[in-house]
Amino acid sequence: MVVLFVAASSFAQTGSLKGIVKDYNTKNSVSFAKLSLEKNGIVVKTVTSDNKGQFNFFKITVGTYTLRVSSVAYILYVDYNIKIKENTELEKIILLRPKQNFVLDEVVVKEDCEEVKDLQLDHCLPQIINKSIVNPSYQYCSPMGVVGDMSYQQVTQNYNTEEYDIINENIFHDVINDPLSTFSIDVDKASYSNLRRFINGNQKPPVDAIRIEEMINYFDYDYPQPKDEHPFSVNMEMNSCPWNSEHELVLIGLQAKIPTEEEIPASNLVFLVDVSGSMSSANKLPLLVQSFKILVEKLRPQDRVAMVVYAGAAGLVLKSTSGNNKKAILKALNSLQSGGSTAGGAGIKLAYKVAVDNFIEGGNNRVILATDGDFNVGQSSNADMERLIIEKRKTGIYLSVLGFGMGNYKDSKMEKLSNAGNGNYAYIDNILEAKKVFGKELWGTLYTVAKDVKIQVEFNPAKVKSYRLIGYENRLLNKEDFNDDKKDAGEIGAGHKVTALYEIIPAGSNENPNNVDPLEYQNTIQVKSNNLMTLKLRYKLPDENKSRLIKKYIKEKKIQSTEVSDNFMFASAVVGFGMLLRNSQFKGDLTFNDVEKLARLAKGKDENGYRAEFITLVEKAELIFAED
């Protein structure tokens, strides 16, 4: 890429810088490139080249600056020093070469390459398969194509390359043959805010974006605070299943202790921020900066924050800084801009190094990764990153993940990283969600009160014929894992609530949900017991490696409620909504209208309006799905 600069001075002690951005190979002008002048690591001014590749910096104070140029599909090799003087003209060549194998997914060629030429990508060589492009790879593409008034970058954002891991819905298990159900808790909430983004955009969410446990746990429930030595209370309720009157629902709810702010130890935080080219849209880096500003306002003098960024390379933008120096932290946030490729692995390594260098004994040491998850350079495989994060969590440094954006969002990768790092995973779709995560729920997001929390339920076949755990498909454990303290499980933060529901078929029912013939040679004589089930929980305190056990024998009459609580009804409504969005085989004749009615009955106080928003979302989804 060749950039021709001409500087002219029109005012005393100021100059101007203007020029045209061109492609190194083709010498064509490059539209919508981002150029910034930086001084001492702080961005002084940023401009964008126009549709002819031209740019202008006006009234720049004389001095030495770093000029950075970036654009989609191009690699920035180096930054260049620019000396702006009065009445001085400058000419400077900056070498930027196109990315190899730049990918534009899901473009379809109806007949031949003429469809691609309509996008003015004349230098691209698409791979044609049966007269259509399947995940085409373009080499040396010039991002100058314009469709009407849309830039190439805007065009590419219309193509969806989002990634989600497949979810195979839990089925019913016969109690006689499989009485134990074991799983790790989950306090992540990303799925709900992500599916909200789709529905508010008048789109159906992808089926595998629907994780019902994250939908349930997005909401607040009225569980009592713990009163014993354990860091959370255990609460249970049972009532009729709204979508199948022949079944029952059992609710298990955990409520973590809410400590005072004085009880929460000092935090050593490292913001790890993706500033690659894919983060340039308004719902990515700009929203990310706004979100972190909410967190910064909550910091205490004893808390410390450092900031690492990564694009083509990783770098330290802000050394570890006290929470009472908010001005310096905000200044660093305001200096962030996007451009370049995505060296996610290098960024994570540097962030952990900074966290280790500033480790607080007995404190909350955590890396907070904010990204769209599109790692494509360096140590980028899920397996490599997971191994690195698992190794670091053993030192007491956890990882939380914040997701931003759409189109190229990599949910599957981000969920794995947060699970490996003993942290939380949230998706920020708007500034109100950022306020929820970093305002109302900040210390739950940042401070863990119990780790490796596992639940194991043993059902009594004299009371229960079959059961299925609703959600938690990617949190299932083997029964042997429950007593294995080396097996990782979920964490629960200060004030967090965790809710899980089982759908059960009572003993004596003639229903055979899995259509399996009864076994002929198994002992079906059961110990006489009035217990419905045995509930066991294991957890570790944050600074311990040996688990503690909670064991409860649950009688049906103790949890069978005569009056259905708002907790039970609303959680049931959320489950029903999730099943409809997934078109679950277990949804029965449930409708969106049924879900809406149930949610309205359980709306309760709803001080923050989250339940009211849910009801509106159900109404929108009903209209979207009615189009089929």
- Same domain for 46 and 60? yes
Same domain assignment for residues 243 and 285: no
Average the pLDDT over each of 129-133, 480-484, 560-564 and give the range with the smallest value. 129-133
User: Both 398 and 464 in a single domain?
Assistant: no
More confident residue, 79 or 414: 414
Residue 609: which residues within 8 A CB-CB, separation 6 or more?
none
Helices (H) and strands (E) in the chain, counts: 15, 29
Pick the last residue of a domain from 36, 69, 98: 98
In a domain, 43, yes or no: yes
Question: 42, 77, 98 — which closes off a domain?
Answer: 98
pLDDT at 347: 83
Please give the residue range of the domain that contains residue 14: 2-98
Q: What is the pLDDT of residue 342?
A: 56
Instruction: Please tell me whether residues 195 and 271 are part of one structural domain.
Output: no
Tell whether the model's pLDDT for residue 5 goes beyond 50: no
Residue 523 has pLDDT above 80, yes or no: no
Report the Cα–Cα distance between both ends of the chain, in Å, rounded: 49
Same structural domain, 219 and 368: no
Please list, in sequence order, all residues whose beta carbon lies within 8 angstroms of the beta carbon of residue 73, skipping any fewer than 6 positions away: 98, 99, 102, 138, 141, 142, 143, 152
- What pLDDT shows up at residue 9? 37
- pLDDT at site 19: 79
Alpha-carbon distance values, 31 to 49, 117, 145, 288, 291 (Å): 6, 17, 8, 26, 30
Of the given ranges (383-387, 390-394, 491-495), which has the lowest mean pLDDT?
383-387
- 353 and 464 both lie in a single domain: no
Q: Does residue 463 sit in the same domain as residue 533?
A: yes
Task: Among 42-51, 364-373, 395-404, name the one with the lowest average pLDDT.
Answer: 42-51
Return the pLDDT at 143: 30
Last residue of a domain, one of 422, 440, 458: 440
DSSP 3-state of 90 = coil
Who wins on pLDDT, 243 or 7?
A: 243
Identity (one letter) of the amino acid at 240? S
**pLDDT tens digits, 398-409:** 999 999 998 888
Show the tokens assigned to 513: 């949900």
- Please write the tens of the pLDDT for every residue from 408-450: 888 988 898 898 888 899 999 999 999 999 988 888 888 899 9
Number of domains the chain is built from? 3
Pick the closest to residue 417 from 393, 449, 441 (CA basis): 393
User: Do residues 379 and 346 lie in contact, with contact meaning Cβ atoms separated by under 8 Å?
Assistant: yes
How many CB atoms are closer than 10 A to CB 597? 15
133: left (phi over 0), alpha (psi -120 to 50) or beta: beta
pLDDT score for 113: 32
Q: Give the integer Cα–Cα distance in Å for 217 and 219.
A: 5
CATH of residue 378's domain is 3.40.50.410
For residue 100, what pLDDT is reported?
Answer: 46
228: three-class secondary structure by DSSP: coil
pLDDT tens for 305-345 read 999 988 766 789 999 999 999 999 999 999 888 775 555 67
pLDDT of residue 292: 95
Asked whether residue 105 is domain-assigned, the answer is no
Least confident of 87-101, 179-193, 589-603: 87-101
457, 601: one domain:
yes
Q: Tell me, yes or no, whether 269 and 239 share the same domain.
A: no
- Average pLDDT value for residue range 162-186: 94
Residue 565 in any domain: the answer is yes
| Model confidence pLDDT, tens digit, residues 548-581 | 999 999 999 999 877 899 999 999 999 999 999 9
Q: pLDDT for 231-278, tens place per residue? A: 999 999 999 999 999 999 999 999 999 998 888 999 999 999 988 878
The CATH number of whichever domain residue 7 belongs to comes to 2.60.40.10
Instruction: Calculate the average pLDDT of the chain.
Output: 82
Mean pLDDT, range 187-204, rounded to an integer = 95
Return the percentage of the chain with pLDDT > 70, whole number: 79
- The verdict on residue 145 lying in a domain is no
